[in-house]
Amino acid sequence: MYDKLNDLIRELCSVASDPKGAVKKAMNNSGKQAIGCFPVYIPEEIIYAAGFLPIGLWGGKTDMKKADQYLQNFCCSVMRANMDLAIRGTYDLLAGIVATGYCDTLKCMILNFRAFYKDKPVIGFVCPQNRDEGLQYLIREMEYLATELEHINGWHISDSDVERSIAVYEAYRTAAREFVDTARDYPKTFSPLVRHQILKAAFFMDKAVYAQKLSELNQTVKTLPKEQFNGIRAVVTGIMMDSPALLNALNSYGITIVADDLAQESRQFRTSVKPQGAPLERVARRILDIEGCSLLYEKEKNKAEFILQTVRESGAEAVIVCMTKFCDPEEFDYPLLQEGLDQAGVKSLYIEVENHVEALGQMNTRIQSFSEMF
């Protein structure tokens, strides 16, 4: 069983380590073209139903020098990295790109990518901020997305296509939630870096294949005895924690991740599609039902309570706030989150990260100091 588990872990981690190679492999195996999807929430079920492979565009390691042609230095590193990678040709294999408008920088990116990719379709997708009243608007946006995708490959998207796609994505979400719950019982096998890479692999694979692989991993690891852990159990929150150096530093100082509220990880799959309604309505309602995300407007600022509930459910002792530099929505919510954590007596660590920075230095010292508080 250990050999089988290690093989599955290596396979998924290799996907996360070589996204471009993994996407090419997925395209070859499926015979499908790939569509790039900007953060944070895109109705991938529509893209999948149109006969494409949705691929996550969350930046990557690059010096970002070429991005200066389009974006200022104070734009977030995720979008700067996306722009830089596009200019370098990394995204040339994509048949098109769907760009969102959840923040000011993302709104700029729709036009920037259209200016750069003059011959590649760049489809703008806008999620309504007033989610209590935005269902019909969101359905119209999804209909527009479907129409634009149909122009690329001539595939008419039927309700049954969307229903089949929903089933694939619900299988993925179920497997991913099960993995998150299971991994906390095996902190040595699933170090912070390994846990992250396994979840990240979903962005570069056919979701049906990924769900099957992850389900197999879940069932395999459950046959093994649970692992003892004497370190610090933490919940992480933020946009993303896609830094091997940072994740390895947490592991070095005895910190394991037992749950997350990261936009790149659990926020992608913790909310399910409900069974009632027409297919497009069901997909739309799932996005509108997402809670606890700074990029989605909420009348009641309940971020702190959401994180505290996650702490209680996961048995965590601490919260690590992974703040993407220049991310205004997350920064505006942080004071309320910190106040709630302080009132509840939950220790927390604030870390500011950039997509391309791997030199920890001062951050390493802060993580060590934090670990010594327990």
Token pair, residue 229, equals: 């852990």
Which structure tokens are listed for 129?
A: 């901020």
State how many domains the chain has.
3
For the stretch 90-127, pLDDT in tens is 999 999 999 988 877 778 888 889 989 988 999 999 98
Query: Which pLDDT tens digit goes with each residue over 156-208?
Result: 999 999 999 999 999 999 999 999 999 999 999 999 999 999 999 999 999 99
23-76 pLDDT, tens digit per residue, is 999 999 999 999 999 999 999 999 999 999 999 999 888 888 888 888 787 888
Contacts of 303 (CB under 8 A, 6+ apart): 292, 294, 333, 336, 337, 340
Same domain, 271 and 341: yes
Return the axis-axis angle of helices 244-252 and 362-371, rounded to nearest 10°: 30
Give yes or no: residues 268 and 137 share one domain. Answer: no
At which of 178, 210, 229 does a domain end?
229
Q: What is the spatial distance between Cα 141 and Cα 320, in angstroms, rounded to a whole number?
A: 35
- Structural domain boundaries, residue 4: 1-28+168-229
Among residues 199, 229, 259, the one where a domain terminates is: 229
The answer to whether residues 235 and 351 belong to one domain is yes
Whether 260 and 236 have beta carbons less than 8 Å apart is answered as yes
Q: Which residues does 18 contact at the CB level (< 8 Å), separation at least 6?
A: none
pLDDT digits (tens, 9 = 90+) for 290-311: 988 888 887 777 889 999 999 9
The CATH number of residue 214's host domain is 1.20.1270.370
* 73 within domain boundaries: yes
